[in-house]
A and B are shown apart, each in its own frame.
Chain A
Amino acid sequence: MSDPKPITCDEALRLLAEFLDGELHFDTREGLTQHLEVCRSCFSRAEFERRLKAEINRLGREEITPGFEARVRRLLGSFTTSSAGEQAGGSQT
């Protein structure tokens, strides 16, 4: 297998978001990975963006209040196998 084509800093920055999102094809990903190994400036940028993305990902968890947990427990207790989900309870639409 041939080595990936070297890429420039401009190309690296253009591809960075898709790289961190796991959307790059193998060859391009390899080229960018090699660039990040030798370019401190692009590496720093990649690390920053990666960490910010991770911080945003953490917002996907929210503390559960006792009131909401009680509501969900009541909802779960209302389900029967014959009328599954029809007592949605939670929906106010």
Chain B
Amino acid sequence: MRPPTFARSLVICAATIVLLLFLEGALNVVMAQNPFGAPRPSGGELQVGGIVGWLLAKQSEFYREMSSTLRAAKSDGSAVWTLFAISFAYGIFHAAGPGHGKAVISAYLVANQETARRGIVLSFASALMQSLVAVVIVAICAWLLNASAKTMCGTEKVVEIASYALIAAFGARLVWTKGGGFMRALQTPSPSLALAAHHHDHGPAHDYHDHGSHVHDEHCGHSHAPEPVELAGPGGWQRGLSAILAVGVRPCSGAILILVFALAQGLFWAGIAATFVMGIGTAITVATIAVIAVSAKDLARRLSAGREGRGAIFMRGVEFAAAGLVLLFGAGLLFGYVAAERVTCF
């Protein structure tokens, strides 16, 4: 078989990425049409076009229902179950919104040789961490110290900046490692790349246990393919932990508002439970997107495999680009170029 050209593989990969883009859009359509068997509302109250407007309207609706249900739960205990159901739905919808979480996690998964399973675990861990941070902030500031909204907001801002700095640092570390892998792939003459892939690198990349260089033989049917266990080895979880920290440390403003409201209603426990249920909903959406990202990369990898040096260069390039994106994203958030959900301070 004639080996496909590099240009062709690029086209295939570009197509994959575009496909991914539409998949996310399609996911939104599916969710919009049938979230929980609910029919699409017919025109009328829809102000903004199509799916986006509908998503927005739903989010606002769920969000507002959370506080009204909390109020109702004061006199009627069974309303708590409604509250949990709404919180779950809100979490699912909200994660489809402006979240640096899913962007960073997806880019991280693409930059590393991550499995879909790890993507799911990372999504859940970071979403639950996010819930935990919101609960801890409100518990300490509002419940224990009875601090004012201004103080609480100040705390939120500090945590937010720290979180962005963490993402940027995390991205910088990824760029450093992936840049190395990419440069090596570029410098290695094509015929000997298969050989190069067999030796372990002891450069800075070693921290990350860069499995990237194994990909080539893995897909060329060589015998030195890494075992799945090795891929998610102990070192792997450690670096996964930094992803969870970077993404999960920044709480959602909505959760904080709801928690303070619950505290004022004397139903702090219900607010805490609702926050975690919300986190599970968020995790489901983020995990879905993460799995799509991993599958797209797998597809690209399969398409570029067996293409000697160039395929490897291309994959290292994709990883490097994804690492760069995490860095850009972190820096963008830190310096305000990327708009995130605003912290309520007024």
Q: Do A and B bind each other?
A: no
Chain B residues with CB under 8 Å of chain A are none
